[in-house]
Structure 1
Amino acid sequence: MPVDPVVAQTTVDTLGSLLGLGELSPLEDFLLSFVVAGGIVTFLLTLVAVSGIWGKRKITAAFTDRIAVNRIGPFGLLIIVADAVRLLSKELIVPEGVDRPAWDIAPFVMVSSALLGFAVIPMGSGIQLADPEVGLAYVFAVASIASVGLVMAGYSSNNKYSLLGGLRAVAQNLAYEIPLILTAASVVIFAGTLQMSGIVEAQNVALVDLGGFGIKSWYAFVNPFAFLLFMAANLAEVGRNPFDIPEAPTEIVAGWQTEYSSVYFVLAYLSEFIHIFLGGAIITTIFLGGPTSPIVGLEILPGFVWFVIKILAVYLFTQWMRSAIPRVRIDQLIEIGWKGMLVLSFANLVLTAVIVGLIV
């Protein structure tokens, strides 16, 4: 059954062709990349503002049978502007004894690591900043830099609760990042490539033929066990219940971000939600067919719309877990990661390799 190509070229190449530039010079490539990156960042920040400030409260209220923000603007949407003004206008308080360079840099490290990950994500409708052959490895590499920022924030704050939160963050990321990568490796075995567009293209074929149409072979359908493992490990990576130990407010105030205020708190808050959406973008790309519809031959919406719908669905799942699942203790969290998730992810990887080897 014929299928539509998912990604023909990167957005920079497409924009250059529309402008009639032909083969791009290094300067033209840099300028167009800057424009495209600015557009992607603007979209992400808008999505985070709506979902993180307004949507989070609405979703949590719905799950807990309460009334959320509804007074400021239509549907309470202007709470986004009110919160932005409130936080950015506050004084930046620098505690005594902080390691100032590390304390200043940490929020920027966390935000940058999340934004850089979107550079290789195919968002549909030709929107993709870059498409390297090692795209999946690149995403995990840059996303893991956030752990460095968490450690920097924790130890540089001159606060025992911040230090404890930073140490918990490192322990948690080590325990769950390995299962996350091993589970993603099972997808690479199926797709035969680390290139993000290649992984999407491999899922853009019919798994079940329905007479002219067909359900696509998303890896969430092909290997649902790997999909569930990845979703669970992703909750730990983005710090959502039951894995929100690094920030546990009832135990360690606010963990690594206890001493941050004003614009630095905004950056820390942004990094948290951008990482949630980056996790959703990775799940969308490697398990949910990327920016494609679930039905072959029925592309009724633009690819970018499908992409946004899917990452919002993953975001809704993370907020559902935040409202429904109680926090586990730190020793239980580490035990689940090393004794449970790691073993299951290895088993999934070996089983996938055996199945693919027998089929191929």
Structure 2
Amino acid sequence: MATATPLPDTISDILGIGGFAGELLSMLLGAALVGTIMLTMTAFAGPWAKRKITAAFTDRVSVNRIGPMGLGTIIVDAVRLLSKELIIPEGSDRPAYDIAPVVLAGSAILGFAVIPMGNGIHLADPETGLVFVFAVASIASLGLLMGGYASNNKYSLLGGLRAVAQNIAYEIPLVVTAASVVLFTGSLQMSEIVAAQSAELTTIAGLRIPAWFAFVNPFAFVLFMVANLAEVGRNPFDTPEAPTEIVGGYQTEYSSVYFVLFYLGEFVHIFLGGAIIATLFLGGPAGPFLPGFVWFTIKIWAVFLFTQWCRSAVPRVRIDQIIEIGWKGLLVLSFANLVLTAVILGVLGI
């Protein structure tokens, strides 16, 4: 299948530049554009949308005093947090303490390099794109553990250890469930996974139902959504930073710009999870009438809305229950889904 021209090549053609320097400049400009889009959405999601959604679910009044609909809160919060004093805990492991927030935020942004967002908005389309996005997303666990360990705070250390234990327990079901999608497509290339969902599954009362894997295999879709909640640390899986138990977990001792990076990384990871779900199960940027990028944005914001609904409505479970659910529940179900998918495809000769 012919794929859309990668964004750096499009930029290179528009600017009329070539050679190594031209390719490098085009790649940097493309990465800056995609990064700016994601960071802008994160800026809306963190200080503003999260509060608005939580207030709607809990029947409270949210931010509404600064700017229209309270949108000025985004700028005010950025200035407020960045202007705070950066306090370094005594006895902290300074190199690890400094690097941890960058690792968390950077790993999430890097994952968007292989996500097809529609209309040629993708930076690269390697044959192992799905492996790449899971690999870079998993680096976040290292950042959380580094932050918890380096803070010289027992609550931070507990939060970091909880984060690693939780991520390991749920990353395996996440990858195994994604493997069931690969069985359908026969490819790890993100564009091929999107293309495999472009066919028509069925027609009901004149309404065309696309062959999105959320419709083809809804069980896998549900498993992936649950495992993704654990990966992004949303209820009922937010024990790594449970404020009623361990103050703030791995980020307890972080302030100023470092706290902003942790906060930023958390929401970028939520959007990356939404992007992966949209690509694997919701047809990527596919949709009627509107441009592909608009549909892609709608889908990842829908996943974000779901995570915020869980944050407001679902109670937190204990860390031992979380580990048990992951290893004894989702892991078994994900392997059962993989085997059943392989058997069905083998019987159908697909």
With the shorter chain as reference, the TM-score category is over 0.9
2:158 maps to a residue whose letter is L
Structure 1 residues not aligned, in runs of 5+: 294-298
1:73 has 2:73 as partner: no
**1:257: how far off?**
0.2
Equivalences for residues 105-254 of structure 1 within 5 A: 105-209=99-203, 214-254=208-248
Please give the TM-score of this superposition, normalised by the length of structure 2: 0.98
**Distance of 2:207 and 2:112 partners within structure 1:** 31
**Distance of 1:205 and 1:161 partners within structure 2:** 51
What CA deviation, in whole Å up to 9, does each residue of 1:143-197 have, x standing for no partner?
A: 0000000110011100000000000001100100000000000000011100000
Structure 2 residues not aligned, in runs of 5+: none
**1:17: how far off?**
2.7
**Distance of 1:319 and 1:351 partners within structure 2:** 32
* Counterpart secondary structure, 2:202: strand
When structure 1 is superposed on structure 2, of 6-15 and 141-150 the one drifting more is 6-15
1:310 has 2:304 as partner: no
**1:15: how far off?**
2.2
**1:12: how far off?**
1.3
Q: 2:4·2:119 contact (CA, 8 Å) conserved in 1?
A: no
**1:30: how far off?**
1.1
Q: Aligned residue for 2:12? A: 16
1:266 has 2:260 as partner: yes
Q: Aligned residue for 2:78? A: 84
**Distance of 1:245 and 1:314 partners within structure 2:** 21
**1:214: how far off?**
2.4
**1:18: how far off?**
3.0
**1:6: how far off?**
8.7
Q: 1:186·1:349 contact (CA, 8 Å) conserved in 2?
A: yes
**1:207: how far off?**
0.6
Q: Alignment partner for residue 308 of structure 2, among 312, 319, 342? A: 319
1:358 maps to a residue whose letter is V
**Distance of 2:206 and 2:84 partners within structure 1:** 60
Count of residues in correspondence between the two structures: 349
**1:211: how far off?**
9.0
**1:8: how far off?**
1.7
Cα distance change on mapping 1:160 and 1:211 into 2, 3 Å: closer
**Distance of 2:204 and 2:304 partners within structure 1:** 31
2:294 maps to a residue whose letter is V
Equivalences for residues 329-344 of structure 1 within 5 A: 329-344=318-333
1:288 has 2:282 as partner: yes
**1:356: how far off?**
1.2
What CA deviation, in whole Å up to 9, does each residue of 1:110-153 have, x standing for no partner?
A: 11100000000000111000000000000000000000001100
**1:13: how far off?**
1.7
Task: Quote the RMSD (CA, aligned, Å).
Answer: 1.3
Q: Aligned residue for 2:339? A: 350
What CA deviation, in whole Å up to 9, does each residue of 1:316-356 have, x standing for no partner?
A: 00000000000000110000000000000000000011111
1:14 maps to a residue whose letter is T
Q: 1:241·1:325 contact (CA, 8 Å) conserved in 2?
A: yes
Cα distance change on mapping 1:212 and 1:322 into 2, 3 Å: closer
1:307 maps to a residue whose letter is F
1:157 maps to a residue whose letter is S
Q: 1:6·1:201 contact (CA, 8 Å) conserved in 2?
A: no
* Counterpart secondary structure, 1:207: strand
* Counterpart secondary structure, 2:130: helix
* Counterpart secondary structure, 2:201: strand
**1:74: how far off?**
0.6
2:113 maps to a residue whose letter is A
Q: 2:141·2:163 contact (CA, 8 Å) conserved in 1?
A: yes
* Counterpart secondary structure, 2:132: helix
* Counterpart secondary structure, 1:208: strand
Q: 1:48·1:274 contact (CA, 8 Å) conserved in 2?
A: yes
**Distance of 2:77 and 2:11 partners within structure 1:** 36
* Counterpart secondary structure, 2:244: helix
Q: Alignment partner for residue 328 of structure 1, among 292, 311, 317? A: 317
Please give the TM-score of this superposition, normalised by the length of structure 1: 0.95
**Distance of 1:6 and 1:164 partners within structure 2:** 49
**Distance of 2:277 and 2:267 partners within structure 1:** 15
Q: 1:219·1:288 contact (CA, 8 Å) conserved in 2?
A: yes
Cα distance change on mapping 1:66 and 1:140 into 2, 3 Å: same
Q: 2:202·2:208 contact (CA, 8 Å) conserved in 1?
A: yes
